[in-house]
Amino acid sequence: MNSERILILIKPDGVRRNLTGEVLRRIEAKGYTLENIRMAEATPQILAEHYSELVDKSFYPSIVDYMTSGPLVAAIFTGQRVIEGVRSLAGATDPTTAAPGTIRGDLARDWGSDSVENIIHASDCPENAEKEIALWFAKVQAQR
Ligand code: TYD
């Protein structure tokens, strides 16, 4: 049986706060396999594809500001039920109420900014994972 894949992003707050290694460590320690990793810069065009389901939301402009505020890390992990497993490790969207023990619950908080700063993006289904892998590993220019 083919192994499932997930695309994760360590968002600019995670990179800025030197949490890249900690986030990767938790996913690796759970037992998932790192298949590929790179640094990248988000652009409004890439984000419109990545967050195509959110572009009409009132908070979308603040997401663009946040996600373009610095470099991020994109990584692909593989394993049986990796999407379910990594999303469980990530925790709830709102870092204030995300459960202790999760990446967002342990490492993120509300800083009073317009956007929810929650350290990690994790694909929510196999179709979106493959779409996001193509986006971040083929379309985005390599960080120089
Ligand atoms: P979503 O896909 O709903 O959450 P998740 O990342 O947990 O799968 O939303 C994508 C991102 O959009 C989320 O990580 C943070 C941001 N966001 C806001 O800034 N404000 C909001 O009200 C929501 C719902 C999301």
Candidates 55, 116, 118: which one to mutate for ligand 1, based on the most atoms within 8 Å of Cβ?
A: 116
- What residue ranges line ligand 1, CB within 6 angstroms? 54, 59, 63, 93, 115-116, 118, 121, 124
Q: Which residues are the active-site residues?
A: 121
What value does the mean pLDDT of the chain take?
Answer: 96
**Using one digit for the tens of pLDDT, what is the confidence trace for 37-62?**
999 999 999 999 999 999 999 999 99
pLDDT at residue 29, rounded to an integer? 98
pLDDT at residue 110, rounded to an integer? 98
Ligand 1 atom having least distance to the Cα of 51: 10
Cβ burial, residue 18 (10 Å; 0-12/13-18/19+)? exposed
- Does position 144 have pLDDT exceeding 70, yes or no? no
Ligand 1, atom 15: closest residue by C-alpha: 116
pLDDT at residue 123, rounded to an integer? 98
Please check whether residue 13 is in contact with residue 119, taking contact to mean a CB–CB distance below 8 angstroms.
yes
Ligand 1, atom 9: closest residue by C-alpha: 93
- Cα 100 from Cα 105, distance rounded (Å): 5
Residue 143 pLDDT grade (very low, low, confident, very high; cuts 50, 70, 90): very low
**Using one digit for the tens of pLDDT, what is the confidence trace for 13-30?**
999 999 999 999 999 999
Residue 140 pLDDT grade (very low, low, confident, very high; cuts 50, 70, 90): confident
For each of the domains in the chain, give its residue range(s) and CATH number, in order of start.
4-143 (3.30.70.141)
Which helix (DSSP H) or strand (DSSP E) does residue 108 occupy? Answer: none
Angle between the N-to-C axes of helices 20-30 and 82-90, in degrees from 0 to 180, rounded to the nearest 10: 130
